[in-house]
C-alpha cells in the first residue's frame, strides 16, 4: 500500500476521488503542507499535477455547506483576462463537495505552471500581489452580500479574540503563563490601544480574509500573479482585513514563525510596490476605507499573534503544530512585526494617501 501521509494511503485518496466526476484512473498524490488547518494534496496523473484535493477541517469550519456555497458562487465571478479562474469539480451527487466517512472533501482544478511564495524580497512580486488582491475585490465588488454566509462569525473581531484569549489565560498552567509572560503583557497593552479605534462605520465587502502572500498563485513563466487560492474564509468583512493580512506577509521578508527577530523587518520598498499594485486597478475604495488601511496592518498581525497565543495557552487545539511551542513562536514573531508596523504607522498613512485614490 503506497503511503501518502500518516493518515492516508494512495488507495484511500483514490477511493475518495472516485466520489467525484473526474476521469477514473490511478492517481498519485503529493501532500501540500503550507496550511495550518486543512489536509491538502496535489493529484498527479502521468507525472503532471491535474487537481488539488482537500479535506476541509470540519472542527474549524462548522458550516461546510455555507462555506462551499460561498466559494462556488465567488469562483463563478472570479475570472477575467488578468485573473485565472479556478473551478470546483462536482462530486458524483452533483454537489460541490463530497461528504465521506473520513470527512468533507473537495476537488479543484490545478493551475498549470503556477507557484507560490512564502516570502519575497522582490518588489515586482509585491506589486503583483497588490494588483491581484485589488482585482479580486473589483471582480467581487457588486456581489450581493446577503448571498454570502458568515461561516466563521466575527472571524477578525478583536473583542471576540480578546474574550477567547482571556478564557484561555484563565485555564492555562502557571508554567505556560510564565513562559509566555512577555506576550501576555504585550497583548493586554495592545488590546487597550486598538480597542479605541472604531471601524464600525466602514462598508462591508466580500473579503477573502486570509490574503497572506502564499495564498496567491503566480505564473512561473511570466511571474505575474494569477489568482487567489484558499477561499475558505471568504465572507463579508472590511477591506483593511485583506490589506493588513497581505502586508504583514509581504513587507516582512521572514517567515511567520521566525525565531530570530532581527530578521523580521518592514521593507518600505515592498510596501510601496504593494500599494502601487493595488492602485493599478483604479479607484475602488471609499475614502473611509483608505483611511483604515494602515490600521489594518497593525490589527492583522496582532490578531493572528493573539490567536496563536490563545492556542498555545489552550495546548494547541486549533492550529497544526510540528513542535510544542510553535504557536508561541508564531505569536512572538507576529507581535514583533506588529511593533515594527506600529513604528511605521505615519509612514504608511503618507504613502497610502499619495498612491491610493478614493472613489469619487
Contact residues for ligand GN1, defined by CB under 6 A: 35-37, 60, 210, 212, 230, 233, 256, 304
Task: Please tell me the number of Cα atoms within 13 Å of 85 on its side-chain side.
Answer: 14
With 0-12 / 13-18 / 19 or more C-beta atoms within 10 angstroms meaning exposed / middle / buried, residue 107 is: buried
Question: Could you say which of Mg ion, ligand GN1, none residue 273 binds, taking C-beta under 5 to 8 angstroms by partner kind?
Answer: none
* Beta carbon of residue 136, minimum distance to ligand GN1 (angstroms, whole number): 16
Query: Rounded distance, CA 331 to CA 181, Å?
Result: 12
Query: Rounded distance, CA 183 to CA 261, Å?
Result: 14
Question: Could you say which of Mg ion, ligand GN1, none residue 242 binds, taking C-beta under 5 to 8 angstroms by partner kind?
Answer: none
Name which of 128 and 230 has its Cβ closer to ligand GN1.
Answer: 230
Question: Could you say which of ligand GN1, Mg ion, none residue 304 binds, taking C-beta under 5 to 8 angstroms by partner kind?
Answer: ligand GN1
Task: Report DSSP letters for 148-177, one per residue.
Answer: S--SSTTTT-HHHHHHHHHHHHHHS-HHHH
Query: Rounded distance, CA 174 to CA 290, Å?
Result: 43
Name which of 5 and 355 has its Cβ closer to ligand GN1.
Answer: 5
Q: How far is C-alpha 337 from the chain's CA centre?
A: 17
Alpha-carbon dihedral angle through residues 77, 80, 86, 92, given to the nearest 10 degrees? 60
Instruction: Provide the 3-class DSSP secondary structure of residue 212.
Output: coil
Name which of 176 and 330 has its Cβ closer to Mg ion.
Answer: 330
Name which of 129 and 290 has its Cβ closer to ligand GN1.
Answer: 129
Grid cell 507581535 — which residue? 335
Question: Could you say which of Mg ion, ligand GN1, none residue 194 binds, taking C-beta under 5 to 8 angstroms by partner kind?
Answer: none
Instruction: Provide the 3-class DSSP secondary structure of residue 312.
Output: helix
Query: Rounded distance, CA 22 to CA 102, Å?
Result: 20
Name which of 127 and 241 has its Cβ closer to ligand GN1.
Answer: 241
* Beta carbon of residue 336, minimum distance to ligand GN1 (angstroms, whole number): 16
Question: Could you say which of Mg ion, ligand GN1, none residue 342 binds, taking C-beta under 5 to 8 angstroms by partner kind?
Answer: none
* Beta carbon of residue 147, minimum distance to ligand GN1 (angstroms, whole number): 21
Can you name the residues that pair with 52 across neighbouring β-strands?
42, 108
Question: Could you say which of ligand GN1, Mg ion, none residue 36 binds, taking C-beta under 5 to 8 angstroms by partner kind?
Answer: ligand GN1
* Beta carbon of residue 110, minimum distance to ligand GN1 (angstroms, whole number): 18
* Beta carbon of residue 273, minimum distance to ligand GN1 (angstroms, whole number): 22
* Beta carbon of residue 86, minimum distance to Mg ion (angstroms, whole number): 14
Contact 133, 250 (CB under 8 A): no
Binding site for Mg ion (CB under 5 A): 210, 230
* Beta carbon of residue 38, minimum distance to ligand GN1 (angstroms, whole number): 6
Name which of 210 and 351 has its Cβ closer to Mg ion.
Answer: 210
Question: Could you say which of ligand GN1, Mg ion, none residue 70 binds, taking C-beta under 5 to 8 angstroms by partner kind?
Answer: none
Question: Could you say which of ligand GN1, Mg ion, none residue 237 binds, taking C-beta under 5 to 8 angstroms by partner kind?
Answer: none
Name which of 276 and 305 has its Cβ closer to ligand GN1.
Answer: 305
Contacts of 163 (CB under 8 A, 6+ apart): none
Contact 120, 60 (CB under 8 A): no
Name which of 33 and 222 has its Cβ closer to ligand GN1.
Answer: 33
The greatest distance separating any two alpha carbons of the chain, rounded to the nearest whole angstrom, comes to 62
Residues in the chain: 360
Query: Rounded distance, CA 178 to CA 158, Å?
Result: 24
* Beta carbon of residue 257, minimum distance to ligand GN1 (angstroms, whole number): 9
Amino acid at each position: 500500500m503506497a503511503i501518502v501521509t500518516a493518515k492516508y494511503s494512495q488507495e484511500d485518496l483514490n477511493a475518495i476521488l472516485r466520489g467525484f466526476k473526474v476521469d477514473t484512473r490511478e492517481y498519485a498524490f503529493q501532500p501540500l503542507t503550507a496550511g495550518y488547518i486543512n489536509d491538502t494534496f496535489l493529484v498527479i496523473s502521468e507525472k503532471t499535477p491535474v487537481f488539488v484535493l482537500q479535506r476541509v477541517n470540519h472542527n474549524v469550519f462548522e458550516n461546510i455547506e455555507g462555506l462551499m456555497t460561498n466559494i462556488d458562487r465567488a469562483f463563478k465571478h472570479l475570472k477575467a483576462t488578468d485573473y485565472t479562474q479556478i473551478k470546483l469539480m462536482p462530486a458524483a451527487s452533483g454537489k460541490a463537495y463530497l461528504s465521506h466517512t473520513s470527512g468533507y472533501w473537495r476537488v479543484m482544478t490545478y493551475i498549470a505552471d503556477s507557484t507560490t511564495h512564502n516570502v519575497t524580497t522582490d518588489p515586482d512580486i509585491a506589486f503583483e500581489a497588490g494588483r491581484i488582491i485589488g482585482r479580486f475585490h473589483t471582480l467581487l465588488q457588486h456581489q450581493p452580500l446577503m448571498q454570502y454566509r458568515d461561516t466563521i462569525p466575527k472571524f477578525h473581531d478583536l473583542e471576540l479574540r480578546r474574550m477567547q484569549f482571556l478564557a484561555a489565560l484563565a485555564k492555562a498552567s502557571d508554567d505556560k503563563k510564565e513562559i509566555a509572560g512577555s506576550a501576555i503583557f504585550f497583548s493586554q497593552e495592545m488590546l487597550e490601544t486598538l480597542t479605541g479605534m472604531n471601524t464600525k462605520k466602514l462598508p462591508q465587502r466580500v473579503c477573502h480574509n486570509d490574503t497572506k502572500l502564499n495564498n496567491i498563485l503566480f505564473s512561473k513563466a511570466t511571474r505575474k500573479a494569477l489568482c487567489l487560492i484558499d477561499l475558505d474564509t471568504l465572507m463579508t468583512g472590511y477591506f483593511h482585513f485583506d490589506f493588513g493580512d497581505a502586508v504583514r506577509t509581504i513587507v516582512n521578508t521572514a517567515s511567520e514563525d521566525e525565531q530570530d527577530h532581527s530578521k523580521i523587518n518592514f521593507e518600505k520598498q515592498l510596501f510601496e510596490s504593494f500599494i502601487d499594485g493595488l492602485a493599478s486597478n483604479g479607484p475602488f475604495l471609499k475614502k473611509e476605507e483608505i483611511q483604515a488601511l494602515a490600521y489594518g496592518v497593525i490589527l492583522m498581525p496582532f490578531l493572528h499573534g493573539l490567536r496563536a497565543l490563545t492556542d498555545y495557552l489552550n495546548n494547541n487545539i486549533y492550529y497544526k503544530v510540528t513542535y510544542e511551542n510553535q504557536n508561541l513562536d508564531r505569536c512572538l514573531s507576529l507581535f514583533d512585526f506588529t511593533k515594527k508596523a506600529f513604528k511605521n504607522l505615519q509612514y504608511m498613512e503618507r504613502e497610502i494617501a499619495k498612491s491610493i485614490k478614493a472613489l469619487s
